[in-house]
Chains A and B, each alone.
Chain A
Amino acid sequence: MAVAKTSRAPETGLDADAMRAMYRHMVRARVLDERLWVLNRQGRAPFVISCQGHEAAQVGIAMALRPGYDWVAPYYRDLAVTLVLGMTPLDHLLATLARAGDPNSGSRQMPAHYGCRRLNIITGGSAVATQVLHACGAALAAKVRGEDAVALTALGEGSTSEGDFHEGLNFAAVHSLPLICVVENNGFAISVPWAKQSHTKDAADRAKGYGMPGVVVDGGDPIACYAAARDAVERARRGKGPTLIEAKVARLTPHSSDDDDRLYKRREVLADEKAHDCLLRFRTALEERSVLAPGDAEEIRAEAMREVDKALDEAEAAPLPAPESALLNVYAED
């Protein structure tokens, strides 16, 4: 099938600059993520958990939000979401190296437990799906005040088995909350495949039980993800209630730096996922549309490398927390 060459993505209104920005965010996330693994394998970072393979979905969806106005309760893979909203590689390198200046938590939490007051990114813990309820609450508060802010939460497909996922979606639907719930389905909850999480074909099938739209989207296509999220956000802003979006993505790394996926994931499957890497796909699509000129992709990657190099130097020079600061911020009066 011939691909129509156009510098504007059909039906989304995204112009060439917006699509280049999408690609740049995807590359920044990938380059940063790869660097985190290098630091881990060098023994300089005790723990890494990855967004590789999720970048297209995360960037496309996050670009449908108003940073600092809308509310976001992400999960541990949402590195690219945080970059689109305005967090930086430096922020996350400070967290990875457990430095005092980590804006997520002052390095009290493991890396990838995102949070940023300025950007309305709600601090998350390690228990999965609990954040769905916090997003519902943020959405409820916006509704009570009559604002048109929305709340977006994201989680893995395994987390849809948790009670808080059910309780949150049911609550959001009953009270018609401006919520967008994104399931980033990469097929595995650490080692357990989707078939052992649910007897439905898609996670989005569950939306029917809550009386809300359930949308399945190609998570390797950032424009499709943007379009799905934009529709859900518009619906939520108009007071029409929540939407469940399931983005089919690939997990190109083991669950975390402490996992070995060879035990449960066939190498051919991984090779196929890598052959369809969302970064390659989007680069090809943008080059075919002449949104990226020859050499642009290399320059974007080089630029991201320079940003991460500089951030790493800065993070390594940053101080660790003072031991006794462990006592602070238990209560407001501390």
Chain B
Amino acid sequence: MPVKSYIEAIREGMRDEMRRDERVIVMGEDVGVKGGVFKATDGLFTEFGEMRVIDTPLAESAIVGVAIGAAINGLRPIAEIQFQDFIMPAVDQIVSEAAKIRYRSNGDFGVPMVVRAPYGGGVHGALYHSQSMEAMFCHIPGLKVVVPSTPYDAKGLLRSAIRDPDPVLYFEHKRAYRLIKGEVPEEEFTVPLGRAATVREGDDIAIFSYGLMTRFCVEAADAIAADGFDCAVVDLRTLRPLDLEAIVGAARRCGKVLVVQEANLAVSVASEVAAIVAEECFEYLDAPVMRLGGPEIPAVPFSPPLEEFYMLNPAKIETRLRELAAY
């Protein structure tokens, strides 16, 4: 099976869906001739032309708002926001419009649209090219939120997101683009939304994570395996809706839970997972639910020592795992 990078898988996911379904279009800043600032849409302009790969004016609300209108009128737009940090001007269109259009029309209109955006730190991007802002969208009924951690899932989830009848926010860790490689089949496949994946089996501690942090969690789990601690790593993959069955099953089986995310912890995905475990698994727990995430500062700072302080890594996760194991 061919090995692809995470960004190649994303690009091929778009390309294959555009070949399969002429309703699929791509729109955003620099997505056309340049092929995207990260090259996620490289080659699409040449293959599909300017009517389906659209360089838009530099205006995020328009990128999303026009995609909404195009989706209402029968297309399947993929709107790219160049960095998740710049999604804020489009939040009114995402939250007040896309998320509510099916509900407010009592089911008459839907918005089959994907908003792709790179997120995450570790690339010296500082405050405005490093944020992890998934939690604010996970709060919104009407949206689906997807964060892949492997090339296989990146492609399969993206294809499902494009085919989904409702708006899906698809967040890609920009450091994973070229860091993470993995096997991706040539033949057509999809990965269903709303389903987590157990990426490492274990019975002692259940680790829940998503995106790049999933990979770090696996490394940390491998590191303490030598000392006899057997950790399960559950990759949430879809953050809304969460896979309750997978969360509850793993938490009950292991009795100890660590939730790991890059974002700061207050009112976050980790908070929600911890709350689910507290409500559904209380009698099965052998330790308090633990969370590990970024510090409560506005965003990732630039200077390397500051960025390293912010970012998690396998060693920091391992430390927390040992605390939990010893409890």
Contact = CB atoms under 8 A, between A and B. Distances in A.
Interface of A: 71, 73, 103-106, 108-109, 113, 115-117, 122-123, 125, 127, 130, 132-145, 151, 163-164, 167-168, 170-171, 174-175, 328-332
B62 A332 contact: no
Name, among A104, A130, A134, A144, the residue most crowded by chain B CB atoms within 10 Å (CB to CB). A134
Interface string B90-107: 001100110011111111
Contacts, number: 141
A141 B75 contact: yes
A123 B108 contact: yes
B56 interface: yes
Given A171-B57, A332-B110, A133 B103 contact: no
Contacts of B92: 127, 130, 164
B62 A133 contact: yes
Contacts of B165: 331-332
A154 B170 CA distance: 32
B65 A133 contact: yes
Contacts of A140: 54, 66, 69-70, 75
A136 B65 contact: yes
Given A108-B104, A142-B73, A332-B102, 18 more contacts: A71-B69, A108-B103, A109-B104, A113-B104, A117-B105, A117-B109, A123-B109, A130-B65, A133-B64, A134-B66, A138-B70, A145-B74, A164-B93, A167-B57, A174-B57, A175-B54, A329-B107, A332-B166
Interface size range of chain B in the complex: 35 or more
Q: Which 4 A-B residue pairs are closest in the complex by CB-CB distance? A: A137-B69, A133-B65, A106-B106, A134-B69
Contacts of B102: 329-332
Interface in B46-71: 51-52, 54, 56-57, 59, 61-62, 64-71
Contact of A171 (B59, B72, B108): B59
Contacts of A116: 108
Nearest to A117: B108
A167 B52 CA distance: 20
24 contacts: A108-B104, A117-B108, A123-B108, A134-B65, A134-B97, A136-B65, A137-B65, A137-B66, A137-B68, A137-B71, A140-B69, A140-B75, A141-B75, A144-B25, A163-B61, A164-B93, A167-B62, A167-B65, A168-B66, A170-B57, A171-B59, A329-B102, A331-B102, A332-B110
Contacts of A135: 69
B121 interface: no
Contacts of A109: 104
A167 B103 CA distance: 26
A250 to B, nearest CB: 30
Interface centre among B73, B102, B103, B110, by most A CB within 10 Å? Answer: B73
Contacts of A105: 104-106
Nearest to A163: B61
A15 B72 CA distance: 35
Given A123-B104, A125-B100, A133-B62, A331 B166 contact: yes
A330 B62 contact: no
B122 to A, nearest CB: 32
Contacts of B56: 171
A61 to B, nearest CB: 19
A303 to B, nearest CB: 30
A171 B96 contact: no
A135 B74 CA distance: 13
A140 B51 CA distance: 9
